[in-house]
Amino acid sequence: MIHSLFLVNSSGDIFLEKHWKSVVSRSVCDYFFEAQERASEPENVPPVIPTPHHYLISVLRHRIYFVAVIQSEVPPLFVIEFLHRVVDTFQDYFGVCTEAAIKDNVVVVYELLEEMLDNGFPLATESNILKELIKPPTILRTVVNTITGSTNVGEQLPTGQLSVVPWRRTGVKYTNNEAYFDVVEEIDAIIDKSGSTITAEIQGVIDACVKLTGMPDLTLSFMNPRLLDDVSFHPCVRFKRWEAERILSFIPPDGNFRLLSYHVSSQNLHPLRSTSLVAIPVYVKHNITFREGSSQGRFELTLGPKQTMGKGVEAVLVNSQLPRGVLNTNLNPSQGTYTFDPVTKLLTWDVGKINPQKLPSLKGSMSLQAGASKPDENPTINIQFKIQQSALSGLKVNRLDMYGEKYKPFKGIKYMTKAGKFQVRT
Amino acid sequence: MLSMSTNNSSYNDQGGADSAVEIGQETTPTSNSGAGFGLFSTDFKKNDDLKEMLENNKESLKLEAMKRIVGLIAKGKNASELFPAVVKNVASKNIELKKLVYVYLVRYAEEQQDLALLSISTFQRALKDPNQLIRASALRVLSSIRVPIIIPIMMLAIKEAASDMSPYVRKTSAHAIQKLYSLDPDQKEHLIEVIEKLLKDKSTLVAGSVVMAFEEVCPERIDLIHKNYRKLCNLLVDVEEWGQVVIISMLTRYARTQFTSPWREDGVFDENSERAFYESDEEKTRDDTEIKPYTMDPDHRLLLRNTKPLLQSRNTAVVMSVAQLYWHLAPRNEVSIVTKSLVRLLRSHREVQYIVLQNIATMSIQRKGMFEPYMKSFYVRSTDATHIKSLKLEILTNLANEANISTILREFQTYVKSQDKQFAAGTIQAIGRCATNISEVTDTCLNGLVLLLSNRDETVVAESVVVIKKLLQAQPSQHSDIIKHMAKLLDNITVSMARASILWLIGEYCERVPKIAPDVLRKMAKSFTSEEDIVKLQTVNLAAKLYLTNSKQTKLLTQYILNLGKYDQNYDIRDRTRFIRQLIVPNEKSGALSKYARRILLAPKPAPVLESAYKDRDRYQLGTLSHTINTKASGYLELSDWPAVAPDQSVRNVEVIEPVRIHPSICTALFHFCPDSSQSSEESEKSSSQSEKSSSESDIEQKKKKKMKKPPQKKNVKPPNKDRYQSVMCKPNSWVGPGFGACVCVCDFSSCRMNLLRPHLFSRRLSVVISCVSGPAFVPEKSHNLLHRMTGKGLAAQYQFTRQPCLYQPNMVSVQISLTNTSDHRLEQIHIGERSPAGLKIHCFNTIEFLEPDASVTVSMGIDFNDSTQAANFQLCTKEDQFSVSIQPAVGDLFLAVTMTEQDFRKEQGKLQGMNECSATITVTAENTSSQPLNRRVAAMANVGVVPSGQDNVHRFAGKTACSGAVLLVTVELRESSAAVITINTEKSVMGSMLLRDLKKSLAQA
């Protein structure tokens, strides 16, 4: 399956290689570099590149390309999913997944890769199991290891590997037993010129941080489970129970994990209306014009809250890719700061919090290339924002119960709405 | 580069080792030979001190050195000259050091074959280590060092590991099979034997890896799957996610060879009109001849049913593989259940989107309806990568129909204005496709495209011209004004493809624009020399066509252009010019052909079909690499067509060796654990209706049902983790439509029963200890008194040994206790109190809150007898009273039956000689001389499994002790004149002699 792995940084250097079968010369990456040169943006490198004798499947994360070398037929998603899992593991172990972090921990990286694949086939990818095999590096442990000469490598087969609950290790102990759940919803929307919604969807996840002693068995129920249209679960969730009772019943892994991701279909939100209408929490008033023949353009942007259920809209960030003809901008924000990069033509406006009484606006002029004709398209505006303590779909957790252990855990649930791919066409 | 890649291809060949060495030296910068050597002299110094560190006695220094070496390997630097120093540390006690040495060995052993052999003995020793992790890693490394000399050693190690107790080691051996195969394909036959054995493994840990090995080594041996098909289907949900992908794709292939097509019946759903057309024809004729409606093979249904929950997996590869399984195997009207999940994947990473969109593109050509409701999910965002954008465009175009075209076109209008010009050009092509596919909007599209001709961006204009040309070709009659407009454009457009298109268009329809065409030719004659080749060719074409239709005005121009062409630098153009001249200018030599010149050049041409690039992709299995790159990848396995007649279905039946008697109490015990027993009861009802043939069992089913209907008071609070598996076991049958009937819903009875009796949780737990604990061959009905009703003040208790592996802990013996209230008042809080000896481990049943008068309840508990027949004493308490009771096991109840082959039996027996053997000669009664009654007698005495025996007069039985798992082997050899020798081999010699005594008594009895 996966023959070799090369890690390539943004400047096109291979800084790590690992082979699971015979050694494949790193010159195979030349095909990848060719494709990289051809692509205008780093994202445009095709994920699958056929070469005369191998196939290169790559993913781009944190500005590092993870290039896997394949020799024969394999489902490409299998490789892609695995590579992303590798990145997730690195992130989990080192906090960040950067070139420097990987280079600093090259031995742990190698040990991890060795455990994760055998003969190119995934062996242990569950973070809980890996952490029992190879302990994540911490400053304290490094110090202890140098003094006592003990190692990062576990000596026993992790219990999870063989038990009926492969995602949880046994013998977990905490003095403070706590379970936190974050319901995070992202709204993806496209708003057209006139302000009407073209598409809007809500994608949600429930991320959990569970630190509970022993083998707790949790159930989580919702006030309005019918909202959830399409769900995918962490393997720990009992599917049958969900099918029958719409209750999430599971033995949680230890630590952080994604319990559930879901999609809220717009039909469910408005049972009476068949068209899709997700509440859009912000609106944008814009007036961006270029005049023929003049070297000036007008730029006006005003943001305002709308259908936010009384919660404030925070951390608002606007960015927009202005047309190539724009040389520079002279804008005046009523709040926050704005930057314009004349090379990439990227306009960024860090708005902060929206005050409903005094709406933030960005007004001014753009100077255009002299003599060039007026750009025939207006830029798209991408908006990011956060709304705390509310899930846009109205999803509410009813209760969380624990069975199987005697102590009383501390439970916490947090809601948040974020902008996903929120675009306004002008 | 090219030569490099050819070398690469030989890596995996048998002789690949040598070539790899060379290449390694060629390509690594610090090789010992060649130029640039001096530059790296510092490296050599460094390596020297590494060598010193490795030879030091201090572990920490060695470890430090190894870490640095691994760093070198990671960077791709050559560290091979350290091999001798490193290999010495292979037997190090320090586990991290050892692991790093392994990493090094695997990397360089191929280059240093002789030195690598030094390490082999270490691994051979480690293969016998009691720690399964060490056994597994030794096998991993041993099989990873690609040294051909040790192939026999590897083979032996694999064979041994394949029957290891630990499923983890067995999994490793499955991986090793593939490694050995790639090293030496000649071992195939032997490896297939191992694969066959491992395929039978019931551990979910092994299943994925062995199927992987199967796919790699012998994908053509589909016969090996038959017997394991149902097991794999049932295990699937519990297999780890990577294994699921492999198993699903293998089962897809399998199903296409074994079942008949489910598609014929509902051709209505087939939107691919062509195929539907053919099929319906076929169908009619067939329906007339044989009136046999299609019924789906229950096994086919089983596969579809068991894969469906996996659509909810978080692993995108699993979701995709289920989607392709449904696409290739499910009846047409069921395929659409995968849509939602596929659309969900679009939220994932960019690379995932790319693959999923490609597959959706292929699917949407054949089945628009599947994705139409989700059309908006394919709207393009300005932040998408270019290849994602074009795929979305492709899908939107595929989805377009009369109803939604206006929405799509409005969306396309936005895209055309995109800053990404390549994407804008793609959109124009898409508009062109919509226009040809949907005749209602052709005019609208054409007008829109004409508007785009005044666009400022050249690529957009050029693309529009090309598309308009194609559209006009389809219906040229009404559009002479568009052609005129385009002729005007010729002055401004510089993109050669667009210019060529306009020229062709004018030439083709020159009769419609009689005034403009000669003028265009005039302009072109002027600029001919500075044009691109493709434009020159079309100019020549235009000249020729005009000459034929309007020779008066254009004769001179044509000759001028032909003269220019004659001396062009490009031979294509010279060629064309010569050809055209001969064709159109009549002279004495040309004769016959020039008569037809008009018909040749101005023949009506068929309009081009604007097709999706994904039209033919469906010849590859969805989700495969081949599908993505649209060429056959090496190692791609074709999906065969459905067979016209299904092959024998019975090959998948798994025969049961010994008739297993289902004990009613076992069923109750099982249903205690079932959180939603209503579901499973349905299942078992159906299975019972299936199993009319085995009548003895069906009345047991009846009993079971009765038991299940007991009030929920006895509902045991289950150990937390189990009901997931239980719930998995009870497959969802809610969505199986009522129309399918029992035969569809339920696989055959034997596999169902296997499921009921031994849900995965048993086998999984126990498989840690011993590979194959089988069900008991015999369960004694006899129950013993635990508490008489007089002494118990109305509470009566009886116990019996179920001889099942204990649910709670593998080393306990499970005991069934039935409690009856014979008094006239309700008894409350029945539970177990103090126990003696103090260390006695008992898994108690949960407190029974109350027991009504005349009611009885059966509970199960586990007792760890610690392999002795000492009685377990404890107190049975009610709310008011306490009664001391004791359970006295017979020696035979302390065992668990084990199945093994005769060969294994002999091997085990060989290990248990001398002290561990006791035997006796007895005279058996006449009736016990035949095998059936003898087997029954022995099985009644002790919980042992029958070992199939090659000899008639020798009967063998195997078991293991519940607590320590020590093997027990019983041999009964019948001699002449009703004499028999009983031999018992076991480490637990006390238990052995006790059992011998009991057996002697039992067999001598009439």
CB contact under 8 A, A25 and B8: yes
End-to-end Cα separation, chain B, in angstroms: 85
- Whether residue A275 is predicted with pLDDT greater than 70 in this model: the reply is no
**Contact between B417 and A244 using a beta-carbon 8 Å cutoff:** no
Distance CA B62, CA B406 (A): 72
**3-class SS of residue B594:** helix
Write the single-letter amino acid at B796: A
Percent of chain B with pLDDT over 90: 12
Among A216, A24, A18, A376, which residue's Cα sits nearest to residue B457?
Answer: A376
How many angstroms separate the CA atoms of B386 and B382, rounded?
A: 9
Residue B807 has pLDDT above 80, yes or no: no
* Residues from chain A contacting residue B457 (CB–CB below 8 Å): 376
Nearest chain A alpha carbon to B622 = A75
Q: Quick one: average pLDDT of A391-416?
A: 88
Q: Give the lowest-confidence range in A126-140, B243-257, B490-504, B644-658.
A: B644-658
Judged by a CB distance cut-off of 8 A, whether residue A410 touches chain B is no
Task: Identify all chain A residues contacting B626, using CB atoms and an 8 Å cutoff.
Answer: 73
pLDDT category at A70 given cuts 50, 70, 90 is very high
Shortest distance between the Cα of A300 and any Cα of chain B, in A, equals: 20
Instruction: Specify the pairing of strand A228-233 against strand A197-211.
Output: unpaired
Q: Token pair 């596929």 is at which residue?
A: B342
CB contact under 8 A, B95 and A155: yes
Does A276 have pLDDT greater than 60?
no
Which amino acid is located at B648 in the chain? D
Chain B hits for A230, Cβ within 8 Å: 340-341, 343-344
A155:B133 CB<8 A: yes
Q: Are B235 and B799 in contact (CB under 8 A)?
A: no
Cβ of residue A53 closer than 8 Å to a chain B Cβ: yes
pLDDT recorded at residue B744? 33
- Answer with the residue of higher pLDDT: B341 or B963: B341
Task: Label residue B721 by pLDDT band (50, 70, 90).
Answer: very low
- For residue B529, give Cα distances in angstroms to B341, B393, B542: 58, 39, 16
Closest CA to A198 of B369, B410, B341, B342: B410
Q: Is B770 on the interface with A (CB under 8 A)?
A: no
Give the per-residue SS3 of chain A: CEEEEEEECCCCCEEEEEECCCCCCHHHHHHHHHHHHHCCCHHHCCCEEECCCCEEEEEEECCEEEEEEECCCCCHHHHHHHHHHHHHHHHHHHCCCCHHHHHHCHHHHHHHHHHHEECCEECCCCHHHHHHHECCCCHHHHHHHHHHCCCCECCCCCHHHHCCCCCCCCCCCCCCCEEEEEEEEEEEEEECCCCCEEEEEEEEEEEEEEECCCCCEEEEEECCHHHEEEEEECCCECHHHHHHHCEEEECCCCEEEEEEEEEECHHHHCCCCCCCCCCCCEEEEEEEEECCCCCEEEEEEEEEECCCCCCCEEEEEEEEECCCCEEEEEEEECCCEEEEECCCCEEEEEEECCCCCCCCEEEEEEEECCCCCCCCCCCEEEEEEEEECCCCCCCCEEEEEEECCCCCCEEEEEEEEEEEEEEEEC
The string of pLDDT tens digits covering residues A143-182 is 666 666 556 666 565 655 556 677 887 778 888 899 999 9
Whether residue B720 and residue A404 make contact (CB cut-off 8 A), yes or no, is yes
The verdict on a CB contact (< 8 Å) between A22 and B387 is no
Average pLDDT, integer, range B263-290: 46
Nearest CB to A243; choose among B71, B209, B732: B732
User: pTM value?
Assistant: 0.70
- Give the least confident one: B91-105, B265-279, B628-642, B957-971: B265-279
The answer to whether A244 faces chain B, any CB pair under 8 Å, is: yes
Task: Rank A195-199, B247-251, B339-343 by mean pLDDT and report only the highest.
Answer: B247-251
Please report the pLDDT score of residue B706 as a whole number.
46
Whether B9 has its CB under 8 Å from any CB of chain A: the answer is yes
Mean pLDDT of B71-80: 87
Residue A261 near residue A205, CB atoms below 8 Å: yes
Query: Can you read off the two tokens belonging to residue B455?
Result: 């666009």
A-chain CB neighbours of B70 within 8 Å are 106-107, 110
Q: Name every chain B residue with its beta carbon within 8 A of the beta carbon of A377.
A: 417-419
Highest mean pLDDT (candidates B31-35, B89-93, B127-131): B127-131
Q: Do A107 and B67 touch (CB under 8 A)?
A: yes
Task: Answer yes or no: is pLDDT of B676 > 70.
Answer: no
Residue B565 has pLDDT above 60, yes or no: yes
Residue A355 has pLDDT above 70, yes or no: yes
Confidence of residue A266 (pLDDT cuts 50, 70, 90): low
What residues 892-951 of chain B have any CB closer than 8 A to a CB of chain A? none
* A261 interface with B at CB cutoff 8 Å: yes
Chain B segment 77-136 residues within 8 A of A by beta carbon are 94-97, 99-100, 102-103, 107, 110, 131-133, 136
* A9, A15, A25: best to mutate for the B interface, most B CBs within 10 A: A25
Q: At B918, is the pLDDT very low, low, confident or very high (cuts 50, 70, 90)?
A: confident
Indicate if the pLDDT at residue B697 is higher than 60: no
| Nearest residue of B to residue A58, measured between CA atoms | B351
H-type alpha helices, B861-930:
902-911
| Whether the predicted pLDDT of B757 surpasses 90 | no
pLDDT tops 80 at residue B560:
yes
Phi, psi angle pair for A55, to nearest 5°: -125, 135
- The shortest CB-CB distance from A323 to any of B63, B419, B761 is to B419
From A329's Cα to the closest Cα of chain B, the distance in A is 19
Chain A closest-CA separation from residue B635 CA (Å): 5
Residues 6+ apart with CB under 8 A from A45: A32, A35, A36, A39, A58, A60, A65
Predicted ipTM of the assembly = 0.91
**Interhelix angle for B533-549 vs B551-566, to 10°?**
150
pLDDT in tens, B767-800: 333 334 555 656 666 778 888 887 888 888 888 8
CB contact under 8 A, A78 and B350: no
Classified as helix, coil or strand, B860 is strand
| Among the listed residues B679, B775, B692, the one whose alpha carbon sits nearest the alpha carbon of residue B728 | B679
Taking CB atoms and an 8 Å cutoff, what residues of chain B touch A192?
414
- What is the signed CA dihedral for B141, B146, B152, B158, rounded to 10 degrees? 40
For chain A, give the mean pLDDT. Answer: 84
Check whether A267 has a pLDDT greater than 50. yes
| Touching B: A residues 287-316, CB under 8 Å | none
Top pLDDT among B780 and A226 is at: A226
Partner-chain residue, chosen from A121, A153, A236, that has the shortest CB–CB distance to B95: A153
